[in-house]
Structure 1
Amino acid sequence: MARPSTPILSRDAIRDAALHLIDEEGLAGFSMRRLAGHLGVQAASLYSHFTNRDEVFDAVANLLTRPVDTTGFDRGWATGLLIWGRSYRAALRAHPNAASIVAAGTGERADFLSMADRVHGGLVGDGWPPRYATMIAASVKYLVVGSATTPFGSGFADDTRVYLDRYPHLVQAHLIGQHAEEIDADSFELALTSLVHGLEPLHARVVVHGTQSRTT
């Protein structure tokens, strides 16, 4: 039987091609027409599977969110946050050009919403009032998205002469680029663990006054 001249499309195939295109070229030039060309089809073929670009982005966001680990909340809120934050960062760091899609919002993204539901449930179930649970999850997300999308070393020149005369406290800044991955990973770990440890005394207080706090 002869192979079809037109590629067989599916939602998963289109989603995967979109992620590959974003990985390779970023979001700035992404369009349904560009995606269709990448797949070797006409743009109209895509609309049988996705209504618009935002639906494609929702599918990509779901795919990136899927491997994030929320099982740690079975062992307490602190362990849950550490495991969730680390795995969330790893998922976005694997596709940094697409990280802003995940950061943009929830929409009707089933996998993202399931993740958020498990995180919120894990925090509330371990004594955090709902308002605190929301703020804590947001705080971890800020750390994750910032770490995944804004490498610390990207703003520094690799020439020591830039800093010698005018910025005496930055004379080692030219070395940051050589250790960027290590600095980024260690900085994220410092921020995440400091957040979690800093929350422990607060958790003890709100649990003691849990009956009143849970309603605020």
Structure 2
Amino acid sequence: MGRPRQALLSRDRIIGTALALVDAEGLGALSTRRLAAELGVSGPALYNHFATKDAIVDAVVDAVLGDVDLTAFDVDFATESGRDTWPDAVRAWARSYRAALAAHPNLVPALAVGPGRRANALRMADAVFGALVDAGWPRAQATRVGALMRYFVTGSALGSFAGGFPDDAAVYAGAYPHLDQAHLLADMQREIDESAFEAGLDALLDGLRARYARIADG
């Protein structure tokens, strides 16, 4: 038989299959043996593209982070007009960041660590930090702001607050008098989770604006 016209494996195919597996069954289901079976190849074939399972997870994480829109940071924040726009840029980025993570909630625990050597993660960190520093935030403060926003976004995407309440009214009857409507939360899961994220984002940015003003006045 002649050689196949297309290679059986590619980095993109491995990453896509691994992501689909994590989405469907969680990080715990991802192993090189299981992934090889999903791809219809032998386990050692994966090592031609990735040295370890951790390297595969890193690549999957970075592929998801590549979906985060960073174009809001395409502004010269060092100019007088640009300095006032950093909250809008942070808001747009945070929304896109959360959307990317919320689309793959099973992957969020792996996303919650630092960027390591992940190219898209480093690109994102560079864009956020650079924008804040150019806008006038001291470097140490800019680092804290970037970390704060990452904690907030990853936490909001980690799971559903509303979806965690059973829809059985009997669970709350008597023992939890203030939760008499909690059985209705699951039906409004998306609305509640998104509005809670927006409320938190507003509160964070309001606080950061106030801190920024104090820095500017000092």
Task: Tell me, yes or no, if the aligned pair for 2:59 and 2:118 is still in contact at 8 Å.
Answer: yes
Aligned residues: CA RMSD: 1.8
Q: 1:29 to 1:35 in 2, by over 3 A?
A: same
5+ long unaligned stretches in structure 1:
210-216
| C-alpha displacement of 1:194 | 1.0
Alpha-carbon distance between aligned partners in 2 of 1:59 and 1:23, rounded to the nearest angstrom: 15
Q: How does 1:1-216 map to 2 (within 5 A)?
A: 4=4, 8-73=8-73, 74=75, 76-209=85-218
| C-alpha displacement of 1:104 | 2.4
Task: Tell me, yes or no, if the aligned pair for 1:7 and 1:40 is still in contact at 8 Å.
Answer: no
Query: Which residue of the partner structure matches residue 79 of structure 2?
Result: none
SS at match of 1:50: coil
Task: Tell me, yes or no, if the aligned pair for 2:101 and 2:157 is still in contact at 8 Å.
Answer: yes
Task: Tell me, yes or no, if the aligned pair for 1:7 and 1:41 is still in contact at 8 Å.
Answer: no
| C-alpha displacement of 1:200 | 1.0
SS at match of 2:29: coil
| C-alpha displacement of 1:34 | 0.6
SS at match of 2:172: helix
| C-alpha displacement of 1:81 | 1.0
Q: Identity of paired residues, percent?
A: 47
Task: Tell me, yes or no, if the aligned pair for 1:68 and 1:87 is still in contact at 8 Å.
Answer: yes
Residue type at the aligned position of 1:67:
D
| C-alpha displacement of 1:207 | 2.0
Alpha-carbon distance between aligned partners in 1 of 2:210 and 2:200, rounded to the nearest angstrom: 17
| C-alpha displacement of 1:6 | 9.7
Structure 1 stretches of 4+ with a deviation exceeding 4 A read none
Query: Which residue of the partner structure matches residue 78 of structure 2?
Result: none
Aligned residues: 209
TM-score (norm 1): 0.91
Alpha-carbon distance between aligned partners in 2 of 1:131 and 1:140, rounded to the nearest angstrom: 15
Per-residue displacement from partner, 1:29-70 (whole Å, max 9, x unpaired)?
A: 210111000000000000011000111111111111112122
Alpha-carbon distance between aligned partners in 1 of 2:46 and 2:36, rounded to the nearest angstrom: 7
| C-alpha displacement of 1:3 | 7.3
Q: 1:7 to 1:72 in 2, by over 3 A?
A: closer
Alpha-carbon distance between aligned partners in 2 of 1:12 and 1:88, rounded to the nearest angstrom: 21
Alpha-carbon distance between aligned partners in 2 of 1:2 and 1:22, rounded to the nearest angstrom: 35
